[in-house]
Every structure is written in structure tokens, then in C-alpha cells.
Amino acid sequence: MSDYKFPSIGEKFPEIEVQTTLGKMNLPKDLEGKWFILFSHPADFTPVCTTEFVAFQKRYEEFKKLNCELVGLSIDQVFSHIKWVEWIKDNLNVEIQYPIIADDGDVAKALGMIHAGKGKNTVRAVFIVDDNSVLRAILYYPQELGRNFDEILRMIKGLQVADKNKVAIPANWPNNELIGNKVIIPPASDIKAAFYKKGRYENYDWWFLYKDIDQKEEE
């Protein structure tokens, strides 16, 4: 594990073998062809983490519809994860169905989930990996702030739309203040193309063109 290099956006997710509540997993191999989210939490049996696990589970079906799996992680043993998951089911009537990695600290350190200024537990890290095992986004939240899971779901949707349609996604999409649920066309690479496209798409200028998702881009 010490040989692993901290991955950057655009790089392949490193190959790791882990023990989870659902058995051993090899990432990203076992999820090949799928998107997945690897997220760390500081510790089992803590209030903020409990709210996060419930929030993720409540949205699990929505993630699966996007061909996206969830994988949790903390520096706790499997028996602790199992007891915590049991507690959540017995007391909150929510069954956690995605695997949780039991880490001795090696995976968390290799992936940059432990920050010196925030103690020995993991921060709330989020790694979004696409169906080609490429790391597409990294988020860090401090221990004291729970994550926005609707935003993480929006990120998966936005990245998939961007990939499929070769477009860019505006702020707060699909409720952008300027163009609503429309998407941004990449700027032209020369003057002729710039003015050609400006006459065929909605725009604020030649460098700010946008369109409906289903509208085909003209050559």
C-alpha cells in the first residue's frame, strides 16, 4: 500500500484490495464498467456520519440508475461496521446495502483522506470514479460538516451528461441562473467556426454558446 501514489483527477484509480462488510473487494476491478463513489467517514457510531450513511442509502437507487455504486470507508474494524449498520437498521429502520471498507489506515493515507490538521481520523473525502476507472472528482469536507448528497448526485448526472454530449455543465445546473437546464458548448477553435456557431446557437457571445441537451451540435 505504501507504494501507491495519491491519485489526481484524470488519472486511473489505483488498484487496491480491501476488506468490506460484504467481503473482499478489488477496486476498481470489481466495479469495472461502472461509476463508483468511494467516500470516507471519520468513525462509526457518530451522529454526523450516521446522518450521512442514511442520506446515501436513501439515494442509493438513484445512484444505481446512473450505473453508480457506493463504497464507504473508515479506520474501523469490520465488526464495528457491522454493529453500526445493525444499529442503523434496528433504530432508524434503514438498511445500509452498500459495502463499507474496514481500513487499518493504509488506504486512507494512500488516498489522502487523513489531514494532519484534523487529527488521526479521516476527513469526509469523496472520490468519484467513472466507468473507465478514471478519477473524475475529489471532494473534502471537515469532520464537523456533513456532506450535501444531492450535490454529489448532481455531479454524477452532470459528468455523465458532459461525457455523452461533449459539453460543459454550468453552475447550479440544471437550475442555472443564466441558462436554466441548458448546457454549454465548448468554444470554437478558430474565427470562422466562432462566428458560424454564434449564428446557430443561443449565446451571450461567440465564446458563450449554449443549447438544449438534446440539440445536436452542428459542425
User: Which residues are tagged catalytic?
Assistant: 49
The residue type found at 88 is: I
**Contact (Cβ atoms closer than 8 angstroms) between residue 98 and residue 72:** yes
* Torsion angles phi and psi, residue 202, rounded to 5: -60, 145
Rounded CA-CA distance 27/52 in Å is 22
Cis before residue 174, ω within 30 degrees of 0? yes
Q: Please name the residue that has the C-alpha cell 454493529.
A: 83
The residue type found at 192 is: K
Rounded CA-CA distance 106/4 in Å is 10
Rounded CA-CA distance 31/218 in Å is 36
Rounded CA-CA distance 43/120 in Å is 11
